[in-house]
């Protein structure tokens, strides 16, 4: 029972090789230089990008398999995402952002109330994302990911470009979140302190430069 990734992504002269196995309850941190393929790895897990070749599966369910041409659309994968900058819907209020999609089933339930309380959003529910600080936006994104049932939680540099105070605030919100989360967590981060504090495993992308660049991600 785990998230298994053995795949290859080719984009022009850039090659990304990913071999990872992450068990539920684990928090895998991925680090590596800019442009090395960290976000592409998350995109392949989420289904926003298809592997060029190889296979991704979760608990035995195939997400993507180049040999059988199987590809499960992102909305059917049960994956929750927290992107850099939040990835919030700018035209919707905080409340509508939090209950978007699968979360809609939990409107007016204790689960919703605890999401709002845990990420301290009670005062912000009717605001639009553009009026929030970076830290507040990430808390909204985390609450959205918390409310929607998921088996995989993907976080793409959630604290990059935040000031020190907001970073601590978001980091502690993530910590509480991870403690009760049963699924697989994959966290892309540049920040060693963050990785030390939150991750149970670390994978670093190594880059081999030649005529073609190959980035390899191994656990």
Partner 1 sequence: MKRGLSAPRGLWLIALPTVAIVIVPVLAVFWRTDWSSFLTSISNETSRTALVLSLRTSLVATSLALVFGTPVAWLLANRDFKFKSLVRAFCVLPMVLPPVVGGVALLFAFGRRGVVGARLDEWFGIQLAFTETAAIMAQFFVAAPFFILVMEAAFDQVDRRIVGAARTFGAGPWRTFVTVTLGLVRPSLLAALVLTWARALGEFGATIAFAGNTAGRTQTVPLAVYSQLESGGDDALALSTLMMIVAVSVLIALRGRWVSALRRGGQ
Residue 101 touching partner 1 (CB under 8 A): yes
Among 100, 125, 204, 214, binds partner 1 (CB under 8 A): 100
88 forms part of the interface with partner 1 (CB under 8 A): yes
Per the CB < 8 A criterion, the answer to whether 217 and 16 are in contact is yes
Distant-in-sequence, close-in-space partners of 6: CB < 8 Å, separation ≥ 6: 18, 19, 54, 55, 56
According to the binding rule CB under 8 A, does residue 94 interact with partner 1? Answer: no
User: From the list 38, 77, 137, 171, which residue makes contact with partner 1 (rule: CB under 8 A)?
Assistant: 77
Q: How far is the CB of 210 from partner 1 (least distance, A)?
A: 28
**Token couple for 186:** 């994959």
Select from 12-20, 21-29, 85-93, 207-215 the region that touches partner 1 (CB under 8 A).
85-93
Nearby residues of 46 by Cβ (< 8 Å), 6 or more positions away: 74, 77, 79, 81, 154
Rounded Cα distance between 187 and 209, Å, is: 25
Q: Does 32 participate in binding partner 1 (rule CB under 8 A)?
A: no
In the set 25, 33, 61, 75, which binds partner 1 (CB under 8 A)?
75
Q: Which lies closer to partner 1 via its Cβ, residue 17 or residue 43? A: 43
Dist. CA 211–CA 13, nearest whole Å:
8
- Rule CB under 8 A: say whether 35 interacts with partner 1: no
What are the tokens at 142?
Answer: 């985390």
Say whether residue 83 binds partner 1 (CB under 8 A). yes
Considering the rule CB under 8 A, would residue 12 count as an interface residue with partner 1?
no
Q: Provide CB contacts within 8 A for 176, sequence distance 6+.
A: 118
- Residue 25 binds to partner 1 (criterion: CB under 8 A): no
201-208: strand order across its sheet: 70-71, 61-65, 53-58, 3-11, 14-22, 213-218, 201-208, 27-31, 184-188, 152-156, 79-82
Footprint on residues 117-146 left by partner 1 (CB under 8 A): 144
Q: How far apart are CA 197 and CA 188, in angstroms?
A: 14
**Binding piece for partner 1, criterion CB under 8 A, among 14-22, 45-53, 54-62, 161-169:** 45-53
Residues that bind partner 1 (CB under 8 A): 43, 46-48, 73-75, 77, 79-81, 83-85, 87-92, 100-103, 144, 148, 154
């Amino acid at each position: 029972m785990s998230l298994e990734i053995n795949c290859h992504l080719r984009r022009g002269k850039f090659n990304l090789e990913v071999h990872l196995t992450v068990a539920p309850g684990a928090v895998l941190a991925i680090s590596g230089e800019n442009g090395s393929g960290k976000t592409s790895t998350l995109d392949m897990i989420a289904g926003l990008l298809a592997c060029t070749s190889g296979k991704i599966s979760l608990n035995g369910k195939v997400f993507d398999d180049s040999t059988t041409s199987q590809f499960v659309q992102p909305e059917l994968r049960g994956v929750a995402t927290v992107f850099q900058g939040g990835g919030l819907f700018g035209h919707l209020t905080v409340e509508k952002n939090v209950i978007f999609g699968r979360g809609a089933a939990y409107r007016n339930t204790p689960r919703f109330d605890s999401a709002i309380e845990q990420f301290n959003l009670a005062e912000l529910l009717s605001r639009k994302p553009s009026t929030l600080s970076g830290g507040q936006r990430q808390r909204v994104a985390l609450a959205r990911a918390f409310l929607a049932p998921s088996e995989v939680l993907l976080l793409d540099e959630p604290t990059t470009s935040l000031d020190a105070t907001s970073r601590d605030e978001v980091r502690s919100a993530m910590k509480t979140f991870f403690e009760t989360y049963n699924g697989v967590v994959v966290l892309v981060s540049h920040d060693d302190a963050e990785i030390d504090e939150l991750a149970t495993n670390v994978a670093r992308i190594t880059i081999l430069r030649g005529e073609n660049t190959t980035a390899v991600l191994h656990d």
